[in-house]
């Protein structure tokens, strides 16, 4: 009935048979397993053979007396609870037995209830002891588990292929892995206690990690990825940091994951080089064909019968013109991406520059019965220090797009004002608009939104990437808000003092 671990075994040692059997009956009913012995030496033998927890020991027996058996039990099996059974006349002996280490005593003749109480008391003590032992073992096991869990996490972090660095709330380094040491080419001897700057050679990233560690970025979405290079620009690394949050979402520090993206950068570079090279190689033969077509068309001008051929050649010339402008865009873009665009910054009156572009574009807008207006603020705008050609390209592209992607009779407004230290230029149209899911894509190379409205509008999908590249190179910022059928607003911020 009982599991072995819960079982309590009682050995009743008494020379009187009816006491032995009576005790057995009472104790068995209480769930104890009962063994019997009629003599002291039998009792010792049973204790050798079986795992006994309580001994009910009659002190007065033939052969070895109970009083002699007691010290032997105490010596051989000190955990056994011995309850001595004495006659009325031997209370002193009982006291002596207690001194010898007996757990309790019971006087003869005893009532069943009396026996039950005394044996149950010993049994409770044994059960308590067992429970305490179990708890102790469990605690030891939890500690052991914790230890193995800790070393397991450590092993996982150590074997990650990416570099990992963990800081505490003060921004001190508390954990790194071998991949990080290798990736950042850190001399392990040179790093002192946890100074982040000793590990990371990029001050911007150190600043970001400090901010994350101090709990400034609990919202994961606002943490920018950070790219930096080491080994004199030969190795590129992408770092992604995030806070380590506790149970109550309190910040406990930062964990930063670093990946070697040199190969991606090289691939990008190779692609740009390839595009630049191919564009360059194509440009002159194509321009030649374009010019030669013009000559042929001119020569055919008087020939009545060649009208059809002339139309064909004019179409071909249109196509070569499109290709030449595509190649021009590609070359511009690769120069901007390479940072090879030679900016010649000069003080520029942005109002004057924009009014020139608006005047130039007015005829295109008028051809679509659109109104194109420029709103300048009442107060004079400080001059921008920038390359006027870059500014022409930025706003020329944006205004041309507004005209292209707005229906006939639409309205395009160019609005200029100051936003802090920045000049803010908004190009607002009430044209086709752009669905939210394309808003980021339109700044990618060759991306064009394809729908009923844009179907017949020609373009390369390179205008906005060029605009973005130029705005970035001027230390500015570009954003777009748009809703289909409502129109689009492209906002450009340009710092007055461009570093």
Residues that bind ligand ADP (CB under 6 A): 397, 401-402, 405, 429, 431-434, 442, 447-449, 454, 459-464, 488
* Min dist. Cβ of residue 181 to ligand ADP (A): 43
- Name the phi and psi angles at 352, rounded to 5: -65, -45
Torsion sign across C-alpha atoms 430, 433, 439, 444 = negative
Q: With respect to ligand ADP, which residue has the nearer C-beta, 180 or 361? A: 361
* Min dist. Cβ of residue 402 to ligand ADP (A): 5
DSSP labels for 250-279? -EEEEEEEEEE-HHHHHHHHHHHHHHHHHH
Strand order of the sheet with strand 54-58? 33-37, 9-13, 54-58, 81-86, 104-107
Rounded CA gap, 14 and 402, in Å? 111
Q: With respect to ligand ADP, which residue has the nearer C-beta, 119 or 442? A: 442
* Min dist. Cβ of residue 254 to ligand ADP (A): 37
User: Per the structure block, which two tokens stand in for 158?
Assistant: 């150590």
- Name the phi and psi angles at 269, rounded to 5: -60, -45
Q: With respect to ligand ADP, which residue has the nearer C-beta, 228 or 443? A: 443
Q: With respect to ligand ADP, which residue has the nearer C-beta, 383 or 481? A: 481
Any residues with CB less than 8 A from the CB of 223 and at least 6 apart, and which?
208, 212, 217, 240, 241, 242
In 269-380, at which residue ranges do the beta strands (DSSP E only) sit? Answer: 346-348, 371-375
Rounded CA gap, 286 and 289, in Å? 5
Helices (H), 30-111: 40-49, 66-76, 91-99
Torsion sign across C-alpha atoms 245, 246, 249, 251 = negative
Q: With respect to ligand ADP, which residue has the nearer C-beta, 213 or 489? A: 489
How many Cβ atoms from other residues are within 10 Å of residue 89's Cβ? 10
* Min dist. Cβ of residue 275 to ligand ADP (A): 16
Q: With respect to ligand ADP, which residue has the nearer C-beta, 93 or 430? A: 430
* Min dist. Cβ of residue 489 to ligand ADP (A): 9
Q: With respect to ligand ADP, which residue has the nearer C-beta, 140 or 407? A: 407
Q: With respect to ligand ADP, which residue has the nearer C-beta, 10 or 464? A: 464
Rounded CA gap, 275 and 83, in Å? 99
**Rg of the chain, C-alpha, whole Å:** 46
* Min dist. Cβ of residue 198 to ligand ADP (A): 45
* Min dist. Cβ of residue 415 to ligand ADP (A): 14
How many Cβ atoms from other residues are within 10 Å of residue 344's Cβ? 9
Q: With respect to ligand ADP, which residue has the nearer C-beta, 9 or 448? A: 448
Rounded CA gap, 167 and 243, in Å? 9
* Min dist. Cβ of residue 432 to ligand ADP (A): 5
* Min dist. Cβ of residue 352 to ligand ADP (A): 24
Q: With respect to ligand ADP, which residue has the nearer C-beta, 475 or 484? A: 484
* Min dist. Cβ of residue 486 to ligand ADP (A): 10
In angstroms, the Cα distances linking 282 to 247, 248, 294, 326, 410 are 62, 62, 19, 11, 38
């Amino acid at each position: 009935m009982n599991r072995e671990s819960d079982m309590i075994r009682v050995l009743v040692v008494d020379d009187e048979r009816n006491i032995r059997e009576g005790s057995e009956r009472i104790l068995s009913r209480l769930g104890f397993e009962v063994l019997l012995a009629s003599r002291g030496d039998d009792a010792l033998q049973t204790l050798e053979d079986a795992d006994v927890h309580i001994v009910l020991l009659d002190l007065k027996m033939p052969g070895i007396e109970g009083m002699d058996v007691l010290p032997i039990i105490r010596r051989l099996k000190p955990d056994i609870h011995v309850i001595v059974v004495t006659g009325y006349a031997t209370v002193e002996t009982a006291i002596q037995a207690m001194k010898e280490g007996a757990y309790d005593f019971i006087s003869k003749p005893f009532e069943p209830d009396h026996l039950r109480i005394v044996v149950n008391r010993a049994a409770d003590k044994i059960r308590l002891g067992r429970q305490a032992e179990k708890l102790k073992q469990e605690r030891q096991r939890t500690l052991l588990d914790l230890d193995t869990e800790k070393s397991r996490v450590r092993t996982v972090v150590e074997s990650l292929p990416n570099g990992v660095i963990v800081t505490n709330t003060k921004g001190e380094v508390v954990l790194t892995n071998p991949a990080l040491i290798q990736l950042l080419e850190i001399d392990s001897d040179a790093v002192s206690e946890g100074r982040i700057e000793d590990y990371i050679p990029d001050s911007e990233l150190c600043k970001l990690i400090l901010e994350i560690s101090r709990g400034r970025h609990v919202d994961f979405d606002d943490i920018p990825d950070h790219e930096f290079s080491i080994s004199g620009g030969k190795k590129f690394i992408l770092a992604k940091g995030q806070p380590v949050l506790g149970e109550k979402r309190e910040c406990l520090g930062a964990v930063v994951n670093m990946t070697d993206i040199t190969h991606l950068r090289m691939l990008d570079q190779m692609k740009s080089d390839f595009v630049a090279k191919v564009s360059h190689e194509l440009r002159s033969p194509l321009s030649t064909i374009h010019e030669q077509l013009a000559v042929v068309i001119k020569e055919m001008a008087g020939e009545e019968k060649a009208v059809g051929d002339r139309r064909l050649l004019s179409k071909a010339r249109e196509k070569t013109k499109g290709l030449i402008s595509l190649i021009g865009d590609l070359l511009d873009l690769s120069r901007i991406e390479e940072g090879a665009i030679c900016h010649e910054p000069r003080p520029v009156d942005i109002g004057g520059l924009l009014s020139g572009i608006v005047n130039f574009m007015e005829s295109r807008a008028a051809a679509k019965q659109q109104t194109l207006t420029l709103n300048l603020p009442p107060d004079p705008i400080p001059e921008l220090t920038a390359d006027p050609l870059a500014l022409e390209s930025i706003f020329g592209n944006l205004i041309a797009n507004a005209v292209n992607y707005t229906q006939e009779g639409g309205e395009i407004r160019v609005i200029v004002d100051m936003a802090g230290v920045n000049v803010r230029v908004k190009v607002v149209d009430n044209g086709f608009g752009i669905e939210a899911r394309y808003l980021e894509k339109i700044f990618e190379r060759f991306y064009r939104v394809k729908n009923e409205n844009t179907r017949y509008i020609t373009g390369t999908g390179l205008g906005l990437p060029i605009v973005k590249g130029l705005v970035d190179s001027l230390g500015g910022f570009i954003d777009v808000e748009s809703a289909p059928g409502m129109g689009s607003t492209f906002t450009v911020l340009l710092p007055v003092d461009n570093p």
